Amino acid sequence: MARSSRRGRNRKVNSMPIIIGVLGILVVVLAGMLFFKPKARSVEPEPFNISRYREDGSRFASVGNRYVLEGKVESIETHGSNRMVAVSIRGNRNELLPLLLLGTPPSGVNITRGDKFIFDVSCRTGRDSAGNEVKGVLIVNDVKTK
């Protein structure tokens, strides 16, 4: 320890490269921030993380709450004018995501089984006939054909 201190006191430190490096990093970070800067207050839907949804769906209702999904309709369950659509996500056909379509979508697209669509969805909490919560239900806002 004493030897180290003695050596430190006797040695001349060249701090220029460090300063240049730090500055370089700052430049890169700033450039990246500028490049990846989100388009402020954009209404564009967010990408959907199915794994997270499976864990706690209702959490999706609080963050932006607008998502775009592209998938193939695997099954449709009709109840009155509402339809429950099971969609397989692109790249993972074995993963089915349940989407609730209330009435007719604004785009007027006719949803058929076996076809691919782009779904604009948001997560909501409903109430059953007894007034109990029905949490984390993905409701289709609009549909587009792909």
Partner 1 sequence: MKTLQYFSLLPLVLMTATGQMPDSFDASGRSAQTQNGVQNNDPMRIGETPPPQVFGMELPLLDPSSDTVSYGGAKFDVGNNALVRERFEKFLTQEPDDSEQARLYRKQLQQILDYTERHSGSGSKIGSKTLVKIGMGLYKLSDYPADGDQGGALASAIVSALDALRANRRRDKATAELDAEIDQLIDKTNKLNNRNTSRGKGGGAAGDIKNPNTGNVGMNNTFLIAANTTKIAEKKTQQGANNAASQASLAVARLNYQGLAVWFLLQRRYDHAVIGARVYRHIFRDGDVTMNLDKDSDAYKLFTGISGVPPSINAVDTMASNLRSEVDKSMDAVYGALAQNKLGVATNRLIAAVAVGDYMQSVVSFPAEHRKRIDAYWQLRKRALTTLNARDYDGVEAIAAEMKKMDVDFDDSTLLSYTSARKRQSNFALRSARKAFEAGNDEEFRRLATEAAVIWPRNPNLDKGEQEIARVDAFEPVMEEFRRLLARKEFRNIYNERERFQVVAADNELKKQYTEVVEFVGATDIMLASLKTGSETDRTVGPCLAYEQMTLLMKKDERYSADKVFTDAYGQYAAQAHDFVQALTRAEDCEKRAEYGSALSCYFRARCFFPKSTMAQDGIERMTKIIISATY
Q: Enumerate binding residues for partner 1 (CB under 8 A).
A: 50, 53-58, 77, 79, 82-84, 86, 94-98, 100, 102, 123-129, 132-139
Min separation Cβ 19 and partner 1, Å: 51
What's the farthest any 2 CA atoms get from each other in the chain?
A: 87
Contact (CB, 8 A) for 86 and 40:
no
The C-alpha atoms of residue 145 and residue 105 are separated, in whole angstroms, by 12
Min separation Cβ 41 and partner 1, Å: 26
The C-alpha atoms of residue 139 and residue 65 are separated, in whole angstroms, by 11
6 or 93: whose CB is closer to partner 1?
93
104 or 125: whose CB is closer to partner 1?
125
45 or 140: whose CB is closer to partner 1?
140
Min separation Cβ 7 and partner 1, Å: 57
Question: Which of these, 110, 51, 45, 99, lies nearest to 71 by C-alpha position?
Answer: 99
Q: What is the dihedral of CA 138, 139, 145, 146, to 10 degrees?
A: -20
Min separation Cβ 138 and partner 1, Å: 6
49 or 145: whose CB is closer to partner 1?
49
Contact (CB, 8 A) for 116 and 98:
no
* Paired strand residues for 137: 124
53 or 117: whose CB is closer to partner 1?
53
Min separation Cβ 11 and partner 1, Å: 58
